[in-house]
Structure 1
């Protein structure tokens, strides 16, 4: 098959997923082509067959018309088009509609994100959602709530996408802890709560900082009055860095912003508790990586998070405030039996998670039209 993969301006998770599909398709003798903005092509390893797609993050009539024309030309040689994200999907729908019916390739669109913040942005999202729902042959979604939205918008064929983390060996926990302690200047036995993610509103890392400040102010939540106060470590970068730095500065010296890291598995192995305070997640790859390292996870029950972690995490309601988050983090830090049980469950759950081969098989099923709603 010649598969045209289409993206707009995408962040790390979507880009790495497309990388995986390109790599897997080529390894199985198929012909993947990627249409994406030039900046995205420079960031990810999409191979040599890349088409420059001039599209941004916001509606742009002139730019979007050029993008539709580019996709229309590319589609004439494609057997399947797989667009990632609603904006890319809507452009693909428009391009395919301009082809004769006999020349139209199958169109699959994956919805990767929930509605953004802001009324205007949500209106645009809903419009793109409706275009994709009515124009694609199949809408894949990374979480059950997005499938419900797609159906409500008019999609007749939907399925859950498979977005796996790459398989990784479990790292040496003691070595990882020594390395992190040396980097941060931690004393013997000082504990670490770790959060990973793009510094953007969706991840609500300000809530993690506020919860940590609450935990420090209410030491009884840690159970042992003589226990050293934990450190909060945040790995990631993004547009919200300056704002988060200001929140962290008010919280004190036990909050560490590491910026972008290439050693996330080692950080996950070193942490005593891994914390996700996101207001929405798809199939969070970093939490899958946490399970692979046997991490004790506390996470908000949003999007596809529960589907990923199953019984291997303490789940919080999406509206949990700093006090509730602090209480659960403190409980896991204070209870060594609970923490050990969560680590055991994490390793067991990681062995059950889908692999890249599973994701490719699911993609082939979608491309061939054998999907079951």
Structure 2
């Protein structure tokens, strides 16, 4: 179960897990979304236009959704509950991408099935009513397991009252066949396709426009970095990272008020479907988040393509980049200086990044998810879920 389909790291990762398990032949998966469209980061994102939806359909996964948009928080109707019940009744196990879909699962009439909740953040208290929905599902005996993508996620949810016996950590992974370094000649071609000089220092910021990402900090660091490095470029991509977003335009005006000329070397590309190519063209993948992150997918994807990660100390970021990247204080000067250091040390770190690749394999991740699903679907798990 998805809350909705839209651009975002958790949905990309969860979709890769479902595709892997569905196409391996050991599982059959179908997906139900609560909403057919959402309005986020200044964008209207329709389910059918989303690349994660399309990837699931191409893999043969059946995908359905209730007939509502994400602005509709009204109670679920009898007809909607009937649709949800039909989907769930065919399942042996229900997976919920994060806790938001539990608002539907907790309704009377939703079939009693072992429930695995997959969590991808480290701030449960800042998820609206979702934490209360998770607690209700746990108290009702519906939840058989909770998969956490990071140790910081497990710690945060255990502190919020979710029993430790339910929590297991499966670290994030990516498709190493897609996310990989490229030869120098191909890297130059990728730079050319992006309209960038072949040898220019390049920092990539891949994130949606959201307060947790601390975009003002990133832009202040970019102002300092571009002002000190005449040939450098900065690239921003993700939902809301385009000039169609008026809030981002205001942020840019504030950060570059004294040097608007530098904006010629700051590129806002919005949502991209070719992120492996973007990362492979980069020297640095940057993260400036202040809250909420658990195991940021952008750091892993960028590293696997050869970009050096530079991150604030949020979630599991420090352990992810340890030995082949930098953790910095959340100040513009510190972030900017770390980008310089990362670019200078990139040749030194490249062998270390290559050796780290097996640790971040999505095949390993999917196998771990399969193990959890198979455990909760076994007859021994019946007692875990029959307390209602």
TM-score with structure 1 setting the length:
0.80
1:243-322 equivalences under 5 Å are 243-249=247-253, 250=256, 252=262, 253-279=264-290, 280-317=292-329, 320-322=330-332
User: Does residue 1:144 correspond to 2:151, yes or no?
Assistant: yes
User: Aligned residue for 2:352?
Assistant: 345
Secondary structure at the residue paired with 1:148? helix
Equivalent position SS for 1:87: coil
Q: Which has the higher mean CA deviation after the structures are superposed, 289-298 or 13-22?
A: 13-22
Report the Cα distance in structure 2 between the residues aligned to 1:18 and 1:125, rounded to whole angstroms: 18
SS at match of 1:193: strand
Q: Distance in 1 between matches of 2:20 and 2:170?
A: 16
Cα-to-partner distance string for 1:230-268 (whole Å, 9 max, x where unaligned): 221112232783322333352532211122223322222
Q: Are 1:190 and 2:205 an aligned pair?
A: no
Give the counterpart of 1:105 among 67, 92, 113.
113
CA distance in 2, matches of 1:174, 1:86: 45
Q: In the alignment, what sits opposite 1:222?
A: none
The alpha carbon displacement at 1:59 in A equals 7.1
Name the SS of the counterpart of 2:310 in structure 1: strand
| Structure 2 equivalent of residue 357 of structure 1 | 363
Distance 2:47 2:225 in 1: 43
Indicate the SS of the match to 2:269.
Answer: strand
Q: Does 1:201 align with 2:211?
A: yes
Question: Secondary structure of 2:359's match?
Answer: coil
Distance 1:287 1:181 in 2: 23
State the alpha-carbon separation in 1 of the partners of residues 128 and 237 from structure 2. Answer: 32
State how far apart, in whole Å, the 2-side matches of 1:195 and 1:176 are: 18
Contact 1:161 1:362 in 2 (8 A): yes
Provide the rounded CA distance (Å) in 2 between the counterparts of 1:206 and 1:195. 12
Q: Is 1:163 aligned with 2:182?
A: no
- Tell me whether 1:324 sits opposite 2:328 in the alignment: no
CA displacement at 1:370 relative to structure 2: 6.6
CA distance in 2, matches of 1:95, 1:363: 28
Q: Which runs of 5+ in 1 are unaligned?
A: 1-5, 220-226
Contact conserved, 1:55 with 1:67, CA < 8 A, in 2?
Answer: no
Following the alignment from structure 2 to structure 1, what is the Cα–Cα distance between the partners of residues 248 and 5?
Answer: 22
Count of residues paired in the alignment: 343
Residue aligning to 2:25: 28
Local SS of the residue matching 1:243: helix
Task: Note closer, same or farther for the CA distance 1:200–1:65 as it changes in structure 2 (3 Å cut).
Answer: farther
Per-residue CA deviation, residues 180-206 of structure 1 (Å, 9 max, x unaligned), is 2564353x7432122112222232233
Change in 2 beyond 3 A, CA 1:181/1:208: farther
Q: CA deviation at 1:84?
A: 0.7
Aligned equivalent of 1:232, options 226, 230, 234: 234
Structure 1 counterpart SS, 2:100: helix
1:173 corresponds, among 178, 184, 188, to: 184
TM-score by length of 2: 0.77
Indicate if the aligned counterparts of 2:220 and 2:332 stay in contact, CA closer than 8 A. Answer: yes
Equivalent in the alignment of 2:374: 368
Distance 1:321 1:69, change over 3 A: farther
Match of 1:127 in 2: 132
Cα RMSD over matched residues? 3.0
User: Does the 8 A contact of 2:93 with 2:373 survive in 1?
Assistant: yes
Q: Which has the higher contact order (CA 8 A, sep 6+)?
A: 2
Alignment partners' CA distance in 2, 1:15 and 1:312: 26
**CA separation of 1:285/1:151 partners in 2, compared to 1, >3 Å: closer, same or farther?**
same
- The match for 2:11 is 15
8 Å contact 2:99–2:133 — kept in the other structure?
Answer: yes
